[in-house]
Amino acid sequence: MLNKKLNPKLLWMQFEDVLAPRLGLTVKERAVYSYLLRHSLVVGKLRLQFAVMSLARTLGLAIGATRQAVRRLDELGTLRVLKRGKTGHLVEMRLPEKIRALRLGKNGATSATGAAGEPGASTLEATDFLKTWALRKTIHDRERGACFYCLRRTPANVHCLDHVVPRVRFGRNSYRNLVSCCLECNTRKGDRPAPDFLRTLYRQGRLTPAELDARLRALKDLAAGKLRPQLPSV
């Protein structure tokens, strides 16, 4: 249970007027989040357990679209997935003022910029990094010319962008899911899970044990939003 009494009306206004538009939630993401919100924070609970299949059936959505909506809500920090298993997802919901991609003021307003006029977290989270050449370059710059997977130096004219979670598995064009890599790794990884591909590189002698551990940690940091590229100035 929550330690403080919430105002459901204010909470819903923050969701509809601030959180959803500021984060650029799609109609499906709004539907999933509003359902989870009604059955958690609105009734005074922080944590909620649910099955994606049942949630999809209740909302009239495809299972894949529902799963992707939950994944993106987790990426944005509106909720935190604590456990995935046969019994479903266990999530912890976040109050608007606790969401890292938002900065709520006293009047419920948000700011899209950070210190010294830098782009705010909400801008970063909503950005499609495949949209323009300048945005794609920020991912390459983040890796500093090295392949994210095998660490080999990659000439600018042959490096690629790879989806850590493949597009066929609903991987997004987020900075959390795109890495710069060499053409060979991009081709050989295909739709395989990134941790499995890294272990293949280790077994082939292309990564040392220390490098494998570092790459696996980098994957976790990437998914957690810790490896942020520098957005190009407008």
How large a percentage of the chain has pLDDT more than 70?
87
What pLDDT does 61 receive? Answer: 93
Give SS3 for 125: helix
Q: What is the average per-residue pLDDT within 164-191?
A: 88
Residue of 72, 94, 114, 70 lying closest to 14 (CA atoms): 94
- Tens of pLDDT, residue by residue over 24-52, are 778 898 899 999 988 998 888 889 999 99
DSSP state for residue 96 in the 8-state scheme: G
Which range is least confidently modeled, 48-62, 113-127, 163-177?
113-127
Q: Which two tokens stand for residue 85?
A: 């298993």
Q: Which two tokens stand for residue 115?
A: 């210190």
Q: Which two tokens stand for residue 13?
A: 């206004």
Domains and CATH numbers, the chain: 8-117 (1.10.10.10), 127-223 (1.10.30.50)
- Tens of pLDDT, residue by residue over 136-150, are 999 999 999 999 999
CA angle, residues 108, 109, 115, in degrees to nearest 5: 125
What pLDDT does 227 receive? Answer: 93
More confident residue, 155 or 210: 210
Would you say residue 12 has pLDDT above 90? no
What pLDDT does 74 receive? Answer: 84
